[in-house]
């Protein structure tokens, strides 16, 4: 077992950030037990159970990281720290967002409620792309169920917990294998084609990091089975482009309608007419509306000592 500390840019709240990663309580890949965030990462080919606990306060935070399993060696600390910095947004300074929020009473109230949240990223661009494909045209709960099954069937494990499968873990599967997990034939074909293209060196998703957002989403849309919604979803949740709002997302359209008290749900163009004034932080509106929905479902807690911190 290996332990080390990290210091996020304040303010920071691990619980809020973890819930945006989880999305729904049934997520078995990103786990939150009320005190710690848990996730199996594959580090240099070895599964590693990573547990993160926040110490200090949102305004003066630090986190303790514990590694267990085959990859729990001190030499893997830099790789895990790098992964957590991306996944939990530890180095992101949202001072500009809070300043923008102060100019709008409604947005300011939303930002204050969830002060300390950091925009997270899923474990890899590949994972985000497979998440997007899995959740196309079905409910989020059903999509996460499919992803749980995929991880349990193909992800490397530490005990009973599994990492999200890598391209090489999926490349040898068949369409029938994935259909047995509940995926449609078309989604199974797309997932396997992407996995095999990466393994064969024909597709380099990491190269998207070097592109501007418009070019990255355009390249993503050139992948068979990837449309505008999936590409924008990957830009936000996989590439960390926090100005990206996946405006085709029906669930988010409903959340925006409820938040702004609109008479009807906005379409793609209508969403942009409403949110473009909040550029370059439009993706943060998407995340904050998810937190608002989770809070209304009773999934979040605000203990007195760790409650939302009011900014001066």
Neighbouring C-beta atoms of residue 253, cutoff 10 Å: 21
Give yes or no for a contact between 48 and 1, defined as CB atoms under 8 angstroms apart.
Answer: no
Which tokens is 71 given? 């990859």
Which class does domain 2-93 fall in?
Answer: alpha beta
User: Looking at residue 310, what is its pLDDT?
Assistant: 41
**Structural Rg of the chain based on CA atoms:** 19
- For the stretch 159-182, what's the b/e string if a residue is b when 16 or more beta carbons lie within 10 angstroms of its beta carbon? eebbbbbbbebbbebebebbeebe
Give yes or no for a contact between 235 and 218, defined as CB atoms under 8 angstroms apart.
Answer: no
Residues 224, 256, 284: CA angle, nearest 5 degrees? 70
Question: pTM for this one?
Answer: 0.94
Residues 281, 285, 286: CA angle, nearest 5 degrees? 115
Domain 2-93 and domain 125-237 have a common topology = no
User: Looking at residue 15, what is its pLDDT?
Assistant: 98
pLDDT tens per residue, the chain (312 residues)? 899 999 999 999 999 999 999 999 999 999 999 999 999 999 999 999 999 999 999 999 999 999 999 999 999 999 999 999 999 999 999 999 999 999 999 999 999 999 999 999 999 999 999 999 999 999 999 999 999 999 999 999 999 999 999 999 999 999 999 999 999 999 999 999 999 999 999 999 999 999 999 999 999 999 999 999 999 999 999 999 999 999 999 999 999 999 999 999 999 999 999 999 999 999 999 999 999 999 999 999 875 444 444 443
CA distance 301 to 291: 11
User: Looking at residue 307, what is its pLDDT?
Assistant: 41
User: Looking at residue 98, what is its pLDDT?
Assistant: 98
DSSP 277-291: GGTT-HHHHHHHHHH
User: Looking at residue 5, what is its pLDDT?
Assistant: 98
311 secondary structure, DSSP code: P
- For the stretch 96-112, what's the b/e string if a residue is b when 16 or more beta carbons lie within 10 angstroms of its beta carbon? ebbebbeeeeebeebbe
The region that residue 225 occupies, defined by phi over 0 for left and psi between -120 and 50 for alpha, beta otherwise, is: left
Helix axes 250-260, 282-296, angle to 10 degrees: 80
Query: At a CB cut-off of 8 Å and minimum separation 6, what does 6 contact?
Result: 62, 63, 65, 81, 84, 85, 90
- Domain residue limits, the chain: 2-93, 125-237, 250-296
User: Looking at residue 133, what is its pLDDT?
Assistant: 98
Classify domain 125-237 at the CATH superfamily level.
Answer: Hypothetical protein; domain 2 (1.10.340.30)
- Which residue reads 């592109």 in tokens? 211
User: Looking at residue 303, what is its pLDDT?
Assistant: 59
CA neighbours within 13 Å on the CB side: how many for 165?
A: 26
């Amino acid at each position: 077992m290996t332990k080390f500390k990290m210091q996020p840019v304040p303010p920071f709240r691990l619980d809020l950030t973890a819930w945006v990663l989880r999305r729904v309580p049934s997520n078995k890949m990103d786990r939150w037990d009320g005190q710690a965030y848990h996730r199996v990462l594959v580090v240099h080919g070895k599964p590693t159970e990573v547990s993160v606990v926040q110490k200090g306060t949102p305004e003066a935070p630090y986190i303790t990281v514990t590694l267990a399993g085959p990859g729990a060696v001190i030499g893997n600390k830099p790789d895990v720290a790098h992964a957590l910095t991306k996944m939990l947004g530890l180095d992101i300074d949202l001072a500009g967002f809070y300043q923008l929020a102060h100019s709008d009473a409604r947005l300011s109230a939303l930002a204050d409620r969830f002060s300390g949240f950091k925009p997270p990223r899923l474990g890899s661009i590949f994972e985000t792309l497979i998440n997007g494909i899995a959740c196309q045209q079905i409910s989020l709960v059903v999509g996460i169920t499919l992803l749980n099954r995929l991880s349990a069937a193909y992800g490397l494990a530490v005990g009973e917990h599994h990492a999200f499968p890598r391209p090489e873990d999926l490349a040898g599967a068949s369409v029938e294998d994935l259909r047995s997990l509940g995926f449609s034939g078309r989604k199974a074909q797309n997932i396997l084609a992407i996995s095999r293209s990466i393994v064969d060196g024909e597709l380099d998703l990491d190269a998207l990091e070097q592109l501007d957002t418009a070019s990255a989403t355009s390249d993503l849309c050139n992948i068979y089975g990837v449309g505008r919604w999936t590409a924008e979803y990957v830009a936000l949740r996989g590439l960390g482009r926090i100005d990206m709002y996946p405006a085709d997302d029906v669930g988010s359209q409903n959340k925006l309608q409820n938040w702004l008290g609109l008479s009807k749900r906005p379409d793609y163009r209508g969403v942009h007419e409403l949110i473009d004034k909040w550029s370059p932080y439009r993706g943060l509106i998407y995340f904050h509306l998810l937190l608002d929905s989770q809070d209304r479902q009773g999934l979040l807690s605000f203990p007195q000592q760790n409650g939302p911190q009011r900014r001066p």
